[in-house]
Structure 1
């Protein structure tokens, strides 16, 4: 998500200060969003998507992913709980889809761990 926001701003050729004026979001917050130190609210995501002309669905998916990664400890039990919730909602994943998604999640977690260890 942070890369989507930063790239979107850079593609528009505007500074964080200019984006702050356009969105009425504090410049320091925008910098923190772009550095991954803070997560915007859903309303802020919608405003940023509109101003930066980023596909709202793409940005919302990235936002939800970030929120989930920050809140859930991905272990076998949490993955089972998520799978059960999906099943209760009538959303079924084939085994290969599950494996691909779990691999993607674990890869993302490893990436975040590596980034955190360099801070």
Structure 2
């Protein structure tokens, strides 16, 4: 897990709020947080919880995972995996059984690729290490 980067998060939140044409007070009301608290988050003075980030993301109509990545709570690959899973689960054109099978296949491919990457790294390490 990366360290919290609240300054970058605050700048990003301010930019998203302005793009949504919301005042600080409007966003605070919509997210259910206090105006001063949201202001402190935007200025990089506070470290919001995942729950607060989720509320703010919902109010801004953006991905909570994106805010988690910006805050250092989640790394980029975890976000991509969560978004893929969410897209599969949200697809109305396939039934629940099909969704579960698709997620199992997705998991098996990820595990297979991780194992191959680990094996390749192990092979590279073995070549790079001099024997004594």
TM-score by length of 2: 0.47
Pair 1:47 & 2:51 matched = no
The answer as to whether partners of 2:31 and 2:58 remain within 8 angstroms in 1 is no
Q: State the partner residue of 1:117.
A: none
Query: How big is the shift at 1:9?
Result: 0.7
1:63 partnered with 2:71: yes
- CA apart distance, 1:52: 0.8
Aligned to 2:29: 21
Q: TM-score, normalised by structure 1?
A: 0.52
Aligned: 1:2 with 2:2: no
Q: Is the contact made by 1:12 and 1:52 (CA closer than 8 Å) also made in structure 2?
A: yes
User: How many residues matched?
Assistant: 70
User: What CA RMSD, in Å, does the superposition of the two structures yield over aligned residues?
Assistant: 2.3
Equivalents in 1 of 2:59, 2:31: separation in Å?
A: 7
> Which of 6, 11, 14 in structure 1 is aligned with 2:19?
11
Quick one: higher RCO (CA 8 Å, sep 6+), 1 or 2?
2
Where do 5+ consecutive residues of structure 2 fail to align? 1-8, 74-114, 122-132
Structure label with greater radius of gyration: 2
Runs of 4+ in 1 over 6 A off after TM superposition: none
Displacement, 1:55?
2.2
List alignment gaps of at least 5 residues for structure 1.
66-89, 95-119
1:2 deviates by 1.0
